[in-house]
Structure 1
Amino acid sequence: MSAILSADDLNDFINPGIACIKPVETLPKQQPANEGNPYEVTTEEKVHAAQPPPPAQISLTDCLACSGCVTSAEAVLVSLQSHSEVLDTLERYGEIKVSSNGNLDETALENDKKKVFVASVSPQTRASLAATYNVSEREAGYMINQLLSGSYGLRSGGLHGSGFTWVVDTNVMREVALVAAADEAQAAMDSPSGELKRPVLTSACPGWICYAEKTHSHILPHLSKLKSPQALTGTLLKSVISKRLGVRPDQIWHLAIMPCFDKKLEASRAELTSHTWHGQEGNAVRDVDCVITARELLMLAESRNISFPCLPRTPLPKHLRPSFPDPHIDRFLFGRKNKNAVDKDASNTIGTSGGYLHHILHSQQARHPDSTIRVQRGRNNDVVDYHLVSATGEIFFKAGRYYGFRNIQNLVRRLRPAKASRMPGASAAGRKGIVRKPGGGGAVGEGQDYAYVEVMACPGGCTNGGGQIKVGDVLTLRQAGGTGVENGSVEHQVLPLQKEWLGLVDEAYWSAGASDDEEGCDEYDVMDSGGDVAMAESHGTYLKSDMDGQAKTDIVAGVDRRKVRNLLDHWSAVTGVDRETLVCTTYRAVESDVGKSGAETSEVEKVSALAVAAGGGW
């Protein structure tokens, strides 16, 4: 496995069901198996007569397998994604060199032993590293770029001296996801009987999606059809590079650096492959070939004897960052700074998981300029209700936030369709897919007809992902890197509590964009937006223009919607694929085979089939 977790890493859990029999599978048989009754209760006498069991270990498989969520076959695919896989791939394949103007040597196209290496980095990962080494979020991003693409990083060693040609910030494609999410939520409101049912539930968290697909199929019609920023970035990079440079999809290798292990599971999905946008024959190639976390990124540097905290905290030299092969997309990906910096009150509303709910609320508010947002806290900090109230006092839009599996379970129960009563004259209320009020009342969300709910598996959001650097590792990492003491923060060598540590990571996350302008980074390219753009603040200032006789909101919460739509139109034109195919995905109900006859004998066949379907350099 790519990582071994300790029990302290699991700060939230799903109560194990009858199918959660992982410990039984790993321990030696203590009594002759009774094939006729596989769930026979073991008596106290039998336990004492048996050999002492080996110490329990919690691995990545167990972390994802609560209540049988992940099959053994999927666990094999997940385990293949690690820092070792990154190093093996760099050693196995040489790098296809791209010139400063975005062109490449045509002879490289015929060499199957070379690849174009690209990477994408999440802001939560940068925040975790920034808090660990007492640097700003921007400096942490520079250090990651230096490791992946700089002359002091991976290029300084290895058989071929290979590195990553482009390193992309997933915050850029997050803006695409936000604009598409707001349009999707509005479409669900305009067509209540459409394919997507209300409330629309965020689908960017793979842990939540895995749980819904394998335990609550009634949730699937509510899931947003949009790809996550990770998946969108993978599709954009591979589709455009393939078209513009004339390389095959399997000659492009995409590494994603994410805050949680479940993102590895997302990358293994059969729905997120080149077959959806390329249409080539043969095996599908994954849009994201490998996912590693912040901790694994440090292991990657250590494996090459590179001191991560000693890497330069400055941007890459321009000759090491060639132009992206499409000028329009190059400006969109690299032509502006990170815009995360906001005031504290706004950060509480936006959260650290992409800001889907925040953007949708302000998109709705832009349609009703005189409206206000009313906030109502739930039983804990991870449950919040948001109501948009018109000038007349009418609530016209209801939304909610549910973080953590304990809270998600409550939401799922309230969304479960009511069973038809056999009693004569029984009411049909509660059968329309709205949030139901369970026994007892008065709590936030109970009985509310939500239009949109932001759902994330980790309590506190994505900065608390399972792949982030834990507080117990900080002191060791700082001592190994020689950082912390010289900055006058000796008191922080006494480790803070986990809650305080998460506060430091969140602070680093929101510091993005607060520093001085980045050298060589242009502001918004207003010509791509169709004219001068007045930058709007994140609260209540909106620019509107008259298009085809209808008032359209152009900028919402700092996101230029015209610029995003122009990108989508251009992307579709470059690839010849319609926008919906590029940005949307599908979900399916998965039936667990745990405890069923023949499950063990079919695992090898399932692993083989899934590996072939996944493709991507294995």
Structure 2
Amino acid sequence: MTAWPAGEPPSPPALSSCFLELTQHTHSSGCITSAESVLITLQSHTEVLTFLAANAALSRGDAQRRIPVISIAPQSLASLAAALNASAASSSSRKQGVVAEVTSREVLRRVQAFCADVLGFEYVFDTTFARHLVLREHTAEFLERRKASASAKEGGEGESSLPMLASACPGWICYAEKAHPEMLPFISRTKSPQQVMGTLVKSWMGSKWGRTPDGVYHVSVMPCYDKKLEASRKDFYDEVYATRDVDCVITTGELELLMREKGWDLSMPVPGELDGTRCSPSDKEIATQPELPELLQHPGTSSGSYLHSIIEHLKASSETRLTLSVKMIRNGDYEEYTLTGSDGGTVFKGAKCYGFRNLQNIVRKVGRERGVRTGAGAAGRLGGRVGGRRNALRGGGGADEEGRKYDYVEVMACPGGCVNGGGQLKAVGDTGGQERDWKWGDKEWTKRVEETYWGEQNVETRPTKTLEELAERVVEELCGSDVSVRQRMLRTGYRAVESEVVGLAVKW
């Protein structure tokens, strides 16, 4: 196991070096332009502090005073907890006896106390309920696409929209829009948990507080720098109220830096963290607290379980028993999942694909299977349309060796997935104790964060009737029965982008 300096948790580099590394990486990989780099750097923990100070200076009756809300990704909580446990394991106190490991739930309570009592946030949530809504919508979209695909194969109008590719990773979306626009028709339109949380905070909660979207200030804590760019997309900007769904995104490392700057010791317990009670400001401005379920675990992957939610739905809705088999293609970051019926026929074939190297292989594979030329710019888009029509006239084509094309792929840009995002806390040394400046965590550290993510005991991991009833009620209150409103609230779109960045076709 990696050894840490006694009493010192893994921590992020200084912000300036973080952003330098980010800019170098994303420019070399063709992810973002220099203009987009500016959008990212404008979102920082100092921006959050500046807003909170100005907002607190306003009187409670001032119409300009906004309700500050912060939401935290479960991967960020796992990273903070893993860092605390690593520090405890290397300290002298560890040698004197067994020290109980801190859970993500305990870290959430401590972060809630810090954000409320020290920073002045009115509400502190995690994002797992928003993710639950996303998984429901994501699965519904997959079923819509599968139906449309079946109709096209039977001679109906429209082109095949499968395989559906996951859309929650902004690094992947940015790359696809610039380097592989021919992949955009395959990418899911469902919003990410961060953006659905923004919709919940600004629209659903805001209405309960008697506030319009511009009367709420929403900060999210994410494991990834590219989430800052996602929040800046004009698709998530409300023209009527001149406000974003997410006003500012900070990374796990920036939150940890903020706590250190404020002298907050995350290793110290806070009242109520073990008995399940919430930590909140002693003087609540708003009496009605919207209650959301906390730290929901969705079985599958620590990157959101998008693939597994579809698999579980297909198994649950099947009239006959389906069998799941898993095949490792290259490593744990590239695996295939196949559902077969009692007759041995394949009902569903999907894949989990993490890391840019594997991602490029998926792009090429989807291109071959669907008759789409994979290349940048207009040539790629034209080739995709022509090739797609030829492929349809031939009755398919491009099937893989086993005769079944992918129906779905869970795509994430970071190796190891979201627990190993670029904004997470990093190991300061390798397994041999040598100091390293990691762009991502090493495999041992990523495994440790992964174990912490799943380590919560006695947690409900499957949807309950009460949870589903709540989800139905929230969506009904948010969207009503208007399909166009639901599309606006829960889905988004993508567009090909002409990039100023050189080297978009670089191979990793």
Cα distance in structure 1, aligned partners of 2:282 and 2:195: 25
- Does residue 1:63 correspond to 2:13, yes or no? no
Q: For residue 521 of structure 1, what is the aligned residue in structure 2?
A: none
TM-score normalized with structure 1 length: 0.65
Quickly say closer, same or farther: Cα 1:338–1:242, change in 2 above 3 A: closer
Structure 1 residue 574: Cα displacement: 12
Q: For residue 213 of structure 1, what is the aligned residue in structure 2?
A: 177
Cα distance in structure 2, aligned partners of 1:77 and 1:128: 25
* 1:9-408 aligned within 5 A: 58-94=20-56, 107-108=61-62, 110=63, 112=64, 114-134=65-85, 135-150=102-117, 153-154=118-119, 163-192=120-149, 193=152, 197-275=161-239, 279-280=240-241, 284-310=242-268, 312=270, 314=273, 315-317=277-279, 320=282, 330-331=290-291, 333=292, 336-340=293-297, 350-368=300-318, 369-408=320-359
Quickly say closer, same or farther: Cα 1:447–1:320, change in 2 above 3 A: farther
* 1:336-485 aligned within 5 A: 336-340=293-297, 350-368=300-318, 369-416=320-367, 417-418=371-372, 428-429=390-391, 436=398, 448-472=404-428
* Residue segments in structure 2 that go unaligned for 5+ positions in a row: 1-12, 86-101, 153-157, 374-381, 384-388, 503-508
Cα distance in structure 2, aligned partners of 1:400 and 1:435: 20
Cα distance in structure 2, aligned partners of 1:311 and 1:301: 15
Give a deviation string over 1:254-312, Cα, whole Å, max 9, x none: 1100001111111111101223xxx44xxx31111111111111211222233333362
Amino acid at match of 2:427: V
**Greater relative contact order (Cα 8 A, min sep 6): structure 1 or 2?**
2
Q: Do 2:333 and 2:416's aligned partners in 1 also have CA atoms closer than 8 Å?
A: yes
Cα distance in structure 2, aligned partners of 1:392 and 1:116: 57
Quickly say closer, same or farther: Cα 1:340–1:133, change in 2 above 3 A: same
DSSP-derived class of the 1:70 partner: coil
Q: For residue 503 of structure 1, what is the aligned residue in structure 2?
A: 447
Amino acid at match of 2:54: R
Give a deviation string over 1:199-220, Cα, whole Å, max 9, x none: 1110000000000001111111
Quickly say closer, same or farther: Cα 1:324–1:357, change in 2 above 3 A: farther
Q: For residue 15 of structure 2, what is the aligned residue in structure 1?
A: 3
Rg larger for: 1
Structure 1 residue 317: Cα displacement: 4.5
Q: For residue 485 of structure 2, what is the aligned residue in structure 1?
A: 578
Cα distance in structure 1, aligned partners of 2:160 and 2:489: 18
Amino acid at match of 1:3: L
Q: For residue 42 of structure 1, what is the aligned residue in structure 2?
A: none
Amino acid at match of 2:105: R
Structure 1 residue 60: Cα displacement: 2.1
Structure 1 residue 139: Cα displacement: 1.0
Q: Which moved more, 1:87-96 or 1:451-460?
A: 87-96
DSSP-derived class of the 2:121 partner: coil
Cα distance in structure 1, aligned partners of 2:468 and 2:278: 30
Cα distance in structure 1, aligned partners of 2:132 and 2:352: 19
Cα distance in structure 2, aligned partners of 1:431 and 1:402: 30
* 1:505-524 aligned within 5 A: 505-512=449-456, 514=457
Give a deviation string over 1:533-574, Cα, whole Å, max 9, x none: xx9x75xxxxxxxxxxxxxxxx58x99545422320122249
Give a deviation string over 1:205-238, Cα, whole Å, max 9, x none: 0000000001111111111111000000011101
TM-score normalized with structure 2 length: 0.78
Structure 1 residue 431: Cα displacement: 8.2
DSSP-derived class of the 1:61 partner: helix
Quickly say closer, same or farther: Cα 1:435–1:310, change in 2 above 3 A: farther
Amino acid at match of 2:366: L
Runs of 4+ off more than 6 Å: 323-327, 430-435, 491-497, 574-577
Amino acid at match of 1:140: V
Quickly say closer, same or farther: Cα 1:302–1:250, change in 2 above 3 A: same
DSSP-derived class of the 1:76 partner: helix
DSSP-derived class of the 1:588 partner: coil
Cα distance in structure 2, aligned partners of 1:592 and 1:376: 37
Q: Do 1:430 and 1:436's aligned partners in 2 also have CA atoms closer than 8 Å?
A: no
Cα distance in structure 2, aligned partners of 1:262 and 1:586: 17
Q: Do 1:2 and 1:60's aligned partners in 2 also have CA atoms closer than 8 Å?
A: no
Amino acid at match of 1:73: A
* Residue segments in structure 1 that go unaligned for 5+ positions in a row: 7-56, 98-104, 155-162, 422-426, 475-490, 518-534, 539-554, 596-618
Cα distance in structure 2, aligned partners of 1:457 and 1:5: 21
Cα distance in structure 2, aligned partners of 1:214 and 1:564: 35
Cα distance in structure 1, aligned partners of 2:68 and 2:225: 22
Cα distance in structure 2, aligned partners of 1:413 and 1:400: 14
Q: Which moved more, 1:234-243 or 1:205-214?
A: 234-243
Cα distance in structure 2, aligned partners of 1:250 and 1:259: 26
Q: Do 1:241 and 1:325's aligned partners in 2 also have CA atoms closer than 8 Å?
A: no
Q: For residue 50 of structure 1, what is the aligned residue in structure 2?
A: none
Cα distance in structure 2, aligned partners of 1:573 and 1:379: 45
Q: Do 1:175 and 1:559's aligned partners in 2 also have CA atoms closer than 8 Å?
A: no
Cα distance in structure 2, aligned partners of 1:400 and 1:322: 46
Give a deviation string over 1:125-182, Cα, whole Å, max 9, x none: 00001011122111111111111012xx32xxxxxxxx11111110111110111111
Q: Which has the higher helix share?
A: 2
* 1:556-595 aligned within 5 A: 560-573=467-480, 578-594=485-501
Amino acid at match of 2:270: P
Q: What is the RMSD of the two structures over their aligned residues, measured on CA atoms?
A: 3.6
Quickly say closer, same or farther: Cα 1:435–1:385, change in 2 above 3 A: farther
